[in-house]
Amino acid sequence: MGRMDGKVVIVTGGAGGIGAAASKLIASAGGAVVVADLSETGQAVADDIVASGGSAVFRRLDVTDERSWAAVVESTVAELGHLDVLVNNAGITDTRGIAETTAESWNRMVAIDQWGVMLGLKHCAPAIKAAGGGSIVNLSSIAGLIATPGSSIAYSGAKGAVRLMTKFAAVELAKDGIRVNSVHPGRVDTEMVADQTDWKKEYMLERTPLGRNAAPVEIAYGILFLASSESSYITGTELVIDGGFTAQ
C-alpha cells in the first residue's frame, strides 16, 4: 500500500513550485489530490498526475476569500467523499525594506500568507474532523524563524505568524484528531525566488552548509511525511528544511 492510500488532500498553491511538487508526490504515494490555485496552470499539474496513473482534480481557489474556501471544501467532500489532509502552501514573497513598506503591500502579504492559512484552518478542520481526523501542514519559512537579509518585514512577520498559528491550532484541534505542523524551507529553486537580486542569491548560497539550493521535491518529501500517518505523534512542531542555514 502507498503511504497516502485512501487519503484526500487539498494542496493550495498547487500550480507550481513546492505546491506542484507536493501534489505530484502525494499522488504518487496513493493520495487523491485537489490541486487548488488561482492559476489555471493547476489544471496542467492535475492532468500530469492523472496521466501518470494518479488521482487529481484542479479547483480554482482564492485563499483570501472565505466563499472560495467553502466552495472548494464542499466540492471536495461531495466528489471525493471526505477530506483528510490540508497542505496550506499558497503564498507570495516580498523584498521591501521597512521604509518602502506600504499599507497596500503589507495588507496583501498578510491577506495571502497569513489570513489565507487561517481560512484554510477554519474551513478544512471541520471536514477533517468529520473524516475521523488527519493532518494539516502549514508552509512557513526560515524567515519565520530568523531575520534573513533581503526578505521583507511583512514576509517575516506573516511567516512568523504562521509558526505560532500552527502551534495554537495544534493544541486546539488535537481533541478532534487533527495534527498541525509547520514546514520551514530555506532557499528553494522556484520561480518565486528566481527574480531575487544576485547578492541575495549569493548570500544564501554562501551561508548554506550543504552549498546549494533545495529542489522543490526535497521540501515535498517533508510535507509528505507530516501528511502521512508515519508522523502520527508529531504535532505543533517545526520541520526545518534549509540545508543547515539556521544551524549556525
Amino acid sitting at position 167: K
CA distance 32 to 56: 6
Amino acid sitting at position 226: L
Write the secondary structure of the chain as one string of H (helix), E (strand) and C (coil).
CCCCCCCEEEEECCCCHHHHHHHHHHHHCCCEEEEEECCCHHHHHHHHHHHCCCEEEEEECCCCCHHHHHHHHHHHHHHHCCCCEEEECCCCCCCCCCCCCCHHHHHHHHHHHHHHHHHHHHHHHHHHHHCCCEEEEEECCHHHCCCCCCCCHHHHHHHHHHHHHHHHHHHHHHHHCEEEEEEEECCECCHHHHCCCHHHHHHHHHCCCCCCCECHHHHHHHHHHHHCHHHCCCCCCEEEECCCHHHC
Q: What residues are labeled active site? A: 155
Amino acid sitting at position 17: G
